[in-house]
Amino acid sequence: MAHINRRDLGLLVLRTGTGAVLAAHGTQKLLGWFGGGGVEGTATAMEHMGFIPGRPSAVAAGLGEAGGGVLLALGLATPAAGAAAAGAMAGAVAVHAPAGFFAQSGGYEYPAFLGFTAAAIGLAGAGRYSLDHAMGHRFDQPWTVALAFTGCALAAAGVLTKRSKAQAEGVDRAAM
């Protein structure tokens, strides 16, 4: 009987749980499942939150969450999956930040936790019980870690900068 590695088993549990939660949130945005608004409802909400244009923002957030979540759960392209999910959560953190830290007050605690967890899995790798391992780590190389996290960090910074400018312009228009 093969030896069961507790570290790899722990990564499997962490990946599947985190991936399932992220996938559920993403399908709310993309498909309207689990009481979500679908792309149109999410697009309207995104515009109210300062993410303009709303529709591409809704699709990007939904794909980052659902796609990143499914890939994390499978342990496939884990660096890209973790980076995509963490990038999507960076936007959610920015939205919730004005309410403070704790989720019970509408704060950013929960999206930050999901983002940090996804990032940690992306950096650590999926472990032995994963599609990445079964495929010889074809999509989990040191260069993919660097590329995925750098690309997602730059994209998140660009989106959040654009949102800040849009919000500032909205405040300036309201003051006139």
Tell me if 151 sits within 8 A of 64, measured CB to CB. Answer: no
In whole angstroms, give the CA distance from residue 48 to residue 75.
Answer: 35
Average the pLDDT over 107-122 and give the result. Answer: 98
Q: Is the pLDDT of residue 99 over 60?
A: yes
pTM above 0.85, yes or no: yes
Find the distance separating the first CA and the last CA of the chain, reported in whole Å. 74
Average the pLDDT over 51-64 and give the result. Answer: 95
- Looking at residue 175, what is its pLDDT? 45
Q: Is the pLDDT of residue 44 over 80?
A: yes
Arithmetic mean of pLDDT over the chain: 94
Q: What is the 3-state secondary structure (H, E, C) of 26-92?
A: HHHHHHCHHHCCHHHHHHHHHHHCCCCCHHHHHHHHHHHHHHHHHHHHHCCCHHHHHHHHHHHHHHH
Least Cα distance to 90 among 121, 55, 118 occurs for: 118
> Number of C-alpha atoms within 13 angstroms, CB side, residue 44?
5
Average the pLDDT over 129-151 and give the result. Answer: 95
Q: Is the pLDDT of residue 159 over 90?
A: yes
- Looking at residue 72, what is its pLDDT? 98
Band of residue 2 on the pLDDT scale cut at 50, 70, 90 = low
Q: Which amino acid, 55?
A: R
- Looking at residue 172, what is its pLDDT? 52
SS3 call for 169 = helix
pLDDT in tens, 61-83: 999 999 999 999 999 999 999 99
- Looking at residue 171, what is its pLDDT? 55
> Number of C-alpha atoms within 13 angstroms, CB side, residue 26?
25
Q: Is the pLDDT of residue 108 over 60?
A: yes
Average the pLDDT over 46-52 and give the result. Answer: 94
58 contact partners, CB below 8 Å, separation of at least 6: 29, 30, 39, 42, 43, 45, 46, 51
Q: Which amino acid, 12?
A: L
